[in-house]
Structure 1
């Protein structure tokens, strides 16, 4: 049940997922999520579904600044958003907000922009696009937290205000509270947030691979997690 809970919390597109710099065009099954949790292979999820909705928001702080992560989390909580800090696999942090049901991707993006503007900060926001189209049919994936190999080193875990671990496995994930999407509408209305034009920036270039029987050996290596991050990009394209 715990893996199912993790899978539901970090749900996104159901027809593909990311590994290394590859978009694998196959469903991210429960077994694939479980392999991530065990540390067998790190996966990423594309947040925007085909109907341009998302179930979560993540703000990427790409520098070793815990106070910055705290300020973003606290500002989000000021708006009654249940926000959580992840200590990322590298040097930075992610601030995550999870919704009680899928919502138009543009809504949490506008709110994230409001939070960052009020704090005078610049950070990456996932989803990176308001919506997807033919130019950016998938958007950008983000690697999921709680990767087994990193958890042992105190990374990709959720932490509290004292920088102490509070969520380190799929069982702990039950502690995470969801934000009601009605709160997003309230924030947007009170702050007069709107879009003159939807942002549909091109996604980062990654190799897209359809997984079929008799796939190339390099693709099998990717699926098994035997390629280092960034390896095999040209070989498998």
Structure 2
């Protein structure tokens, strides 16, 4: 266990878990609820992972100093030939170790002997992913910088060898056979890299030949994977829209040729001619993004970057990915915007205008302001579908914060000798209860960086069943102000050491 722990060391203040729902996506990937526990990883958790106890252990590769000693290309495709991937990696001379994921995909790991900058790890993995043809794959670490001081943690990856080989998350021997944990250690020793070796990795850019140059990514993906027989008609219609945009002079002839190249089996000539007739009608030459087979592989953000995609003429949104939520009250949100980590409030995530201001303020990036409906459907909804939640620090829980503020206001400040002194913004304690005016307490809270408004603060106090008693009227110097009545909080006694010291002789 100790060797495994040292190899996959990452963030020491938190770890992740995925609670599987039993359902799978259309691609065959297991679905579940991802969340992050703000606790250190104990030896028991490492052992339970290797023993196969659910849920599997997820480690965040980037640590509190923005360094990491491993990274991964998460190839989110299934029923892969892992041996072919290994041959391609070897042919390109990349020091990557191929693992099988639980759902049959591939995790391509790069291991470092010591911690290296997360930015270096991420940039090399991105370049290698592009060269291998997996440019759209997730890269871990997902961040090159985490906002530790604001409670940010980064994102986790479930580790291999959950339950050993029987858990189906293992690496491979040279011949394609599953490698045991001990055999993995030998493979690791062979491929682990120094920082200098990782810096010297040379990745030659591969020329990507697209079936539909500068066209929507969905069409190029379907051209590679195949249009389903039941979706050929609608698929070719969208190809026709692309041809009208990219080749307006001879698009009809090109569409006939496309039918033979990318449709299996091709549509009949009669069907193709009917499609051409439809495409020539005014207002009927628009992409059908919300219908199959397009909607199943739609990537609206990337589509906007393509000359003949949807929304290309509009101002471009920087890449948005990796949304994380701290379940505090109110919640905190963190998002990668154009490669920079940004903290958001709920209203800033919901409102594209407020979002643009927050990003400009924190990341110096100008973002377009789409329509509210487009913002929700094209950007926020996809981000929420891959949301990771983080447990809040107990010290940041508003209940704990308001209790501490009450303690400081009523115990650690000079107390009123008489109830009349409450008019001087003090608290007064009598017969086991403490009294104070709400305005005075709220002003004290604001001076101590309390962000909640007065009404919510009052409602929060009412939830303190062991402390809050009532709100009453009290006569003070011919006035009858409303005052808060709470059970008196006792001053903590300093802990006395029980160590006995020898008295020095005189």
TM-score by length of 2: 0.36
State the match for 2:24 in structure 1: none
Superposition deviation, residue 133 in structure 1:
2.1
State the match for 2:199 in structure 1: 185
Q: Does 1:69 pair with 2:85?
A: yes
Distance verdict in 2 for CA 1:152–1:48, change over 3 Å:
same
State the match for 2:340 in structure 1: 200
1:93 pairs with one of 85, 99, 106 = 106
| 1:135-154 alignment, distance < 5 Å | 137-148=152-163, 151-152=165-166
- Offset from partner CA, 1:177-217 (integer Å, 9 cap, x none): 221111122237x98xxxxx9823579532322698xxxxx
In the aligned structure 2, how far is the partner of 1:136 from the partner of 1:210? 8
Superposition deviation, residue 116 in structure 1:
2.3
- For the residue of structure 2 that corresponds to 1:74, the secondary structure is helix
> Residue 165 of structure 2 contacts residue 178 of structure 2 at CA under 8 Å; is this kept in 1?
no
> Residue 6 of structure 1 contacts residue 173 of structure 1 at CA under 8 Å; is this kept in 2?
no
In the aligned structure 1, how far is the partner of 2:42 from the partner of 2:88? 32
> Residue 131 of structure 1 contacts residue 198 of structure 1 at CA under 8 Å; is this kept in 2?
no
Distance verdict in 2 for CA 1:187–1:24, change over 3 Å:
same
Superposition deviation, residue 108 in structure 1:
1.7
Q: Does 1:15 pair with 2:10?
A: no
> Residue 15 of structure 2 contacts residue 59 of structure 2 at CA under 8 Å; is this kept in 1?
yes
Q: Does 1:84 pair with 2:97?
A: yes
Superposition deviation, residue 95 in structure 1:
0.9
In the aligned structure 1, how far is the partner of 2:340 from the partner of 2:151? 7
State the match for 2:183 in structure 1: 172
Q: Which has the higher contact order (CA 8 A, sep 6+)?
A: 1
> Residue 12 of structure 1 contacts residue 46 of structure 1 at CA under 8 Å; is this kept in 2?
yes
In the aligned structure 2, how far is the partner of 1:69 from the partner of 1:138? 32
- For the residue of structure 2 that corresponds to 1:48, the secondary structure is coil
Query: Unpaired segments of 5 or more residues in structure 2?
Result: 19-33, 205-336, 343-382, 395-506
Q: Does 1:55 pair with 2:72?
A: no
- For the residue of structure 2 that corresponds to 1:58, the secondary structure is strand
Distance verdict in 2 for CA 1:84–1:120, change over 3 Å:
closer
State the match for 1:105 in structure 2: 118
Q: What is the root-mean-square deviation of aligned Cα atoms in Å?
A: 2.8
- Offset from partner CA, 1:47-90 (integer Å, 9 cap, x none): 100110011011111112225632563266x14x2x21111101
State the match for 1:215 in structure 2: none
Distance verdict in 2 for CA 1:72–1:109, change over 3 Å:
farther
State the match for 1:160 in structure 2: 173
Superposition deviation, residue 38 in structure 1:
0.4
> Residue 26 of structure 1 contacts residue 211 of structure 1 at CA under 8 Å; is this kept in 2?
no
Distance verdict in 2 for CA 1:158–1:136, change over 3 Å:
farther
Q: In terms of mean alpha carbon deviation, does 22-31 or 66-75 score higher?
A: 66-75
State the match for 1:219 in structure 2: none
In the aligned structure 2, how far is the partner of 1:99 from the partner of 1:205? 29
Query: Unpaired segments of 5 or more residues in structure 1?
Result: 192-196, 213-237
> Residue 75 of structure 1 contacts residue 115 of structure 1 at CA under 8 Å; is this kept in 2?
no
- For the residue of structure 2 that corresponds to 1:152, the secondary structure is helix
- For the residue of structure 2 that corresponds to 1:165, the secondary structure is coil
The size of the alignment, in residue pairs, is: 197
In the aligned structure 2, how far is the partner of 1:108 from the partner of 1:56? 8
- For the residue of structure 1 that corresponds to 2:171, the secondary structure is strand
Instruction: Please identify which structure carries the higher helix content.
Output: 2
- For the residue of structure 1 that corresponds to 2:103, the secondary structure is coil
- For the residue of structure 1 that corresponds to 2:73, the secondary structure is strand
